[in-house]
Amino acid sequence: MPPLDLGVLISGRGSNLQAILDAIADGRLDARVRLVLSNRPGVEGLARAERAGVPTRVIAHRDFADRDTFDAAAVDALRDAGATWVVLAGFMRLLTTTFLDAFPHRVVNIHPSLLPSFPGVDAQQQALDHGVRITGCTVHLVDAGTDTGPILAQAAVPVLDGDDHDTLAARILVQEHALLVRALSWIADGRLQVTPPAAPGGRARAAIAGVDTALGLANVDTALGLAQGGRAPEQVGEGA
């Protein structure tokens, strides 16, 4: 199969973008980043892309009257660059059907919780506020809802005694980097299977051939033990 032609959307530091760039550079991901697009100028993720020799574009959302016109401009930029798949790597904007219809079932997001728990913003703090002992991250396809699209893979992360937002977010981020690259590599291998909704208004379903989409949740007992006071290894719940 030809490499994935990716457009990566960012709004900030771009650490998940860096994970993608590193995986491409060392041969773990058969893909090409055709464009890194940010809705904010001057963010660190743009510098990461430029250092890697990847084209960048800033389309400031504040320059547009509404979400649809912004999304249309983003679609044009991505298509002009040759992107056929889109990755949201810390992109802090909701996408409209204008965007999603242009890349049907080809927009991938990484979210810092075990969806459907804690969708939306600041999922790490939501987990802490609810007192859960296990959280994690989810790679999913994007639909018109807020973090409601078909799940591709998940990884579990314990909430340890004494965690605050920053320590928990850092532990989840380690898993985000690995899980996102792994899910994209499965897509690049042609293993993604999407079943459209059975009826209007229904939900699509996704599966990765030969892979359990609950990746990492087999380690939930170990993670729970850690949350109750054990010592955390460097990475938890990443799966095989």
pLDDT tens, residue by residue, 54-102: 999 999 999 999 999 999 999 999 999 999 999 999 999 999 999 999 9
pLDDT, one tens digit per residue, over 110-165 is: 999 999 999 999 999 999 999 999 999 999 999 999 999 999 999 999 999 999 99
In the numeric block, which tokens belong to residue 97?
């059907």
pLDDT of residue 212: 65
pLDDT, one tens digit per residue, over 154-195 is: 999 999 999 999 999 999 999 999 999 999 999 999 999 999
Query: The tokens 């058969």 sit on which residue?
Result: 30
The catalytic residues are 111
State which amino acid sits at residue 153: A
Mean pLDDT of 219-232: 45
- How, if at all, do strands 134-141 and 107-111 pair? antiparallel
Count H helices, E strands: the chain? 7, 9
Q: How far apart are CA 168 and CA 229, in angstroms?
A: 15
- pTM for this entry: 0.88
Q: Where would I find the beta strands (DSSP E) of the chain? A: 4-10, 31-38, 56-58, 85-88, 107-111, 134-141, 151-158, 192-195, 205-208
